[in-house]
Amino acid sequence: MKQWILGFFLMVMGGSLSAKEKGEFVSDWVPVPSNLSIPFEFSFPGSETVELFESFLYFQIHLFFQTKNKDKQLSIYQYNLNTAKFQTIPWNKGKVLGWTECKGMFLVQTKLKLYGVNPNTWEIKKDWDLRSQSSNWKDIVCSDGDLFRLDKDELEVFDLETLEEKPKIPLPMKSVQRIVKGFENEILLISSFSGNTIKSFSLLDKQTTKEWKFPTNHRALFKMTQLTPDRFLVFDPITKIYGEWILFDGQLFPTSGLSKRSDGKAIRFSPIESTIHFQLELTATSDLPETNYHVILPKKDTYAQELREETFYSPSVLSLDETGNRTLTVTIPSLKEGETKSIPVYSGKLTRYKIHWKLESDISVKREESESKFPNELRDDWFLKLEDPIVVGKREELFQGKSSVKELLLETAKYVSSIPYKSGKFEAAPKVIEKNNGGCTEHSYVTMSLLRGVGIPARLVWNYLPTEASSEMSFNHKYVEVWVEGYGWIPMEPLAPPRSKPGVTHVRHLVFSVLPTPVHPKISGGDRLVQLTKEQLSLGKKVKMKLNILKKEKGESSDEGEDLPSIPKNNRSILTGEEMVVP
């Protein structure tokens, strides 16, 4: 007879309060909205197209494009970002070869002249006899009474009152393709030849002040502008990339799906929503009595994952420990020899994020405080050997008396990420350092041995590193979390991008458990997510078991729920360590 799946909403207030003392609190995450109305789809009213290297002009929620139709006739369109409406701009002065906003006026460069234009009416207020040496697009920028025009790897400079040409300014980057007006007498130099590099260049000091990589299609860079000192707009009808990007901790992130921790110390971004299903496959090799199985469930809420709308097999017992690790103990009726059962034991709506923590430099190690709070996460063990001469020597070599947590984490991340990956034998940290290779578990051992040795709590993360194209998950990855005062637990992931930055990982892990040692208290015998309870381990030879974890992305067709009853609510709190029976 088919077992019913009964669902309920878990209110984990008691567990959360106790877990908060251990750093397991769920932070408030605030969505970072776009300031502008960005369309999902965009097209010009007719058959017009835009040229790759020509930029748009942005002014007061309006975008201006020069377009060309199939008959090669040129038009200028004004697009209102709030209303999504177009307006044709009358223009008969020839092909635009560059434009910019300058003190409330548009400067428009053609082959023979430079025009000063009213941005609201496009009435010509002034013109200059300033020729362009070619018929190709050249970005222009106005700043502090001067006009700057891109010319290969330097800037042409003209006084806007007299049109006197001033000495050219050499640029600190080769193959500059675009210049964009910035803030405080700075311009942005853009090149897709240097890995989508953007340099903020001071026109006063003639020096680079900042440098970023823009993680988008290289063609979309030609349709980018800076809205505020920390906000950028990409609006490219060619690549169909539209959106705002924000600057956080020296890096650029799209606002779509972006949220920021309420204290501003972290952002998470690029979410993927899925439905996950745990399917337990059992085959009795001989008569089997009623059996109980521990099934490890993903952590419900972390800085990088959320689970909602969960359903659980009945009858089962859900256990929650003080660090948020969850175990579902499932009771299965007796089976006859040769009998096979496929049992859906769990499902939930999963959201996973990429994460980026911004670490301050003034956080120091507080060993005594950490030892009282996290004794298990600072303890020595066979896989760490904190006082082994090899570990101590590597620690001294890397840290050289540093005391800042950020510096210690940076040095550790750089070193561990440099250790070549090779499927290992789960050897202890000294051996891994000596042989200079290892698997994800061994990389984790080295990270923990280096950091626990200087008083930074570190723990092992059991997780799955999904291949997004795969519909089935397997339990196959480890990394480390470290405790940072004022932040909580943050990731140290040396094998996934960007590898050497503490607190930053641009892949979406699915975390099952966080542990001070490689041994799960309810699972023995290696990496697995399901096992008979300890009292019934002797029955292991009578049953073959396999846990399949299926993942279905949001939007995929699904027949789920057709035979399931409605989900009742249950508001009982789960205290730390308490077991709740699912009816």
Whether 49-260 shares its CATH topology with 366-507 is answered no
Q: In the structure, how many helices (H) and strands (E) does the chain have?
A: 6, 38
Q: Spell out the domain ranges in the chain.
A: 49-260, 272-353+525-553, 366-507
Read off the pTM. Answer: 0.86
CA 546, chain centre distance (Å): 32
| Cis peptide, bond prior to residue 498, ω within 30 of zero | yes
Residues 103, 142 contacting (CB under 8 angstroms): yes
Nearest to residue 378, comparing CAs of 302, 450, 478, 433? 450
122: left (phi over 0), alpha (psi -120 to 50) or beta: left
Place of tokens 């503490």: 502
CA distance 438 to 453: 21
CA distance 131 to 478: 62
Topology given in CATH for the domain delimited by 366-507? C8orf32 fold (3.10.620)
List C-alpha distances in Å: 250 to 223, 228, 359, 417: 21, 15, 12, 21
The set of residues, in sequence order, having a beta carbon less than 8 Å from that of 461 and lying 6+ positions away, is 444, 478, 479, 480, 481, 491, 509, 511, 513, 514
Place of tokens 């659980």: 312
| Cis peptide, bond prior to residue 254, ω within 30 of zero | no
N residues, the chain: 583
What sign results for the dihedral spanned by CA atoms 194, 196, 199, 203? Answer: positive
CA distance 27 to 510: 18
Three-state SS for 148? Answer: strand
* CATH class of the domain defined by 49-260: mainly beta
Q: Which architecture, in CATH terms, is 272-353+525-553? A: Sandwich (2.60)
> Which tokens sit at 286?
């001989």
What sign results for the dihedral spanned by CA atoms 138, 139, 140, 143? Answer: negative
pLDDT tens per residue across all 583 residues of the chain:
344 444 433 333 333 333 443 445 567 899 999 989 998 889 998 888 999 999 999 999 999 999 999 888 999 999 999 999 999 999 999 999 999 999 889 999 999 999 999 999 999 999 999 999 889 999 999 999 999 999 988 999 999 998 899 999 999 988 899 999 999 899 999 999 878 999 999 999 999 999 999 989 999 999 999 999 999 999 999 999 999 999 999 999 999 999 999 999 999 999 999 999 999 999 999 999 999 999 999 999 999 999 999 999 999 999 999 899 999 999 999 999 999 999 999 999 999 999 999 999 999 999 999 999 999 999 999 999 999 999 999 999 999 989 899 999 999 999 999 999 998 789 999 999 999 999 999 999 999 999 999 999 999 999 998 777 788 888 889 999 999 999 999 999 999 999 999 999 999 999 999 999 999 999 987 788 999 999 999 999 999 999 999 999 876 544 333 333 232 333 223 333 333 333 3
CA distance 417 to 437: 10
Output the pLDDT for position 17: 35
Q: Which residues pair with 478 in a beta bridge?
A: 462
